[in-house]
Amino acid sequence: MSVSVLAQNLRGSEIIKIAGEINELKRQGQDIANLTIGDFDANIYPIPEPLKAGIIDAYNHHQTNYPPADGMLNLRESVSAFLKSRYDLEYAPNQILISGGSRPLIYSIYLALVDPGDRVVFPVPSWNNNHYCNLTGAVEVMVPTSPENNFMPTAEELRPHLKGAALLALCSPLNPTGTMFTKKDLEEICDLVIAENKTRKAGEKPLYILYDQIYSQLTFGSHQHYDPVTLRPELEDYVVFVDGGSKCFAATGVRVGWGFGPKDVITNMKAIVGHMGAWAPKAEQVAMAKFLKQDDEVNGYLEGFKTQIQNSLNALHKGFQRLKAEGFKVDSIEPMGAIYLTVKVDYAGKTTPDGDLLKTATDINFYLIKEAKVALVPFSAFGTEEDVNWFRVSVGASTLQDIEQVPHRIKAALEKLR
């Protein structure tokens, strides 16, 4: 059968390959600590009760027909007020687009701003930008980052690549690392974009920023979320935000995301999302519109939810630091935001009890799945080279008790290597 060039060239998801291995072992009856998925076990992290009740009520009142292509007006009004109260960002309802989660927003930003052959700059590791470049025919410019800066890009790393680029894709807190921009680092990047756009001639497409802040309500300790428009208001016409309720309310299956930015860009994204039919279900929109207005309920939920997530991340971080202190070649970066911990398991070149040589991060990961019954995601799934032995660990689908056992299981597996 003949298929399109696009279909032939689509790259498979590394995470799906890992999931296949996990599912096979589970089928065999093995107990696998699955720390791969950027999702939540709803039995551990249920959505807010008022949101759940609102969804049920909306269905009971027959809110089951098509919503407007850009989202229910009352939801866009609620999002506008939410952005003002949470971030002091002022975006009118006609600058806001509702979609079925954040993926259609990201894809529509690419389709609205990037032509085939345009250059898109993004740091690695980062989530799915390489695949969106592939889907749109863009030229991917992957900028490696370092653990010394928590795998967040710096202005100096990005500087050589921005000339003539169409889009700079950024995310903070970052999937897959759970790390965040400092104010200084993001300011310096913003200044680069401002300087680059000043060199563009009249009629020439500007450099836009895609700013994914879907995890911005999930920050811990003294770590503070920053965004380009607050830091540099002159960038307002060049920043398109990706946000929503999926992560901050453990509501990934509710499928309510919101993007916001320059009116003309959002208008074009609206047409694209409308043709995709990728809007959020109407009943869920009605319920989210009501929930976002309930400040006490929102704050109460976030307080408890964040405490649970932070406890799991801290337990895992402390466990890896104990292993490091014992002389194991592992490390981890302090949790800052999102539901992820960045860990290092640097055992390339070691031999398994079966005599197999661990050559790559993927080899190490599959060894841990089989021997420790622990599944991580290597950063190679997010664009880095296979010799980068750092991994994403997601805590959203595991209990604290299960998380606390992970370092012990990994230790036992590493002690068998030679």
The per-residue pLDDT for 127 is: 94
245 & 122 share domain: yes
Does the model's pTM come out above 0.75?
yes
Longest pairwise C-alpha distance within the chain: 64
- Calpha distance 130→383 (Å, rounded): 7
254 & 174 share domain: yes
**What are 393's two structure tokens?**
């660990």
Owning domain of residue 385: 5-45+299-414
169 & 281 share domain: yes
With tokens 């299981």, the residue in question is 409
DSSP 20-36: HHHHHHHHTT---EE--
The per-residue pLDDT for 27 is: 87
Per-residue pLDDT of the chain (418 residues; tens, 9 = 90+): 689 988 887 877 777 778 778 888 888 998 899 999 899 999 999 999 999 999 999 999 999 999 999 999 999 999 999 999 999 999 999 999 999 999 999 999 999 999 999 999 999 999 999 999 999 999 999 999 999 999 999 999 999 999 999 999 999 999 999 999 999 999 999 999 999 999 999 989 999 999 999 999 999 999 999 999 999 999 999 999 999 999 999 999 999 999 999 999 999 999 999 999 999 999 999 999 999 999 999 999 999 999 999 999 999 999 999 999 999 999 999 999 999 999 999 999 999 999 999 999 999 999 999 999 999 999 999 999 999 999 999 999 999 999 999 999 999 999 999 9
The per-residue pLDDT for 9 is: 79
> Final residue of a domain: which of 258, 277, 294?
294
Q: Within a 10 A sphere around the Cβ of 82, how many other Cβ atoms?
A: 21
> Final residue of a domain: which of 294, 315, 337?
294
315 & 217 share domain: no
68 & 214 share domain: yes
What CATH number does residue 241 fall under?
3.40.640.10
Integer angstrom CA distances of residue 379 from 176, 193, 320, 415: 8, 27, 17, 23
Number of separate domains in the chain: 2
Dihedral angle at the C-alpha atoms of 219, 220, 221, 222, nearest 10 degrees? -30
- Calpha distance 113→92 (Å, rounded): 21
- Calpha distance 336→137 (Å, rounded): 34
113 & 234 share domain: yes
With tokens 């680069």, the residue in question is 192
257 & 402 share domain: no
Edge-to-edge, what's the strand order for the sheet holding 139-144?
96-99, 257-260, 239-244, 208-212, 167-171, 119-124, 139-144
261 & 401 share domain: no
78 & 118 share domain: yes
The per-residue pLDDT for 1 is: 61
> Final residue of a domain: which of 263, 294, 325?
294
What CATH number does residue 41 fall under?
3.90.1150.10
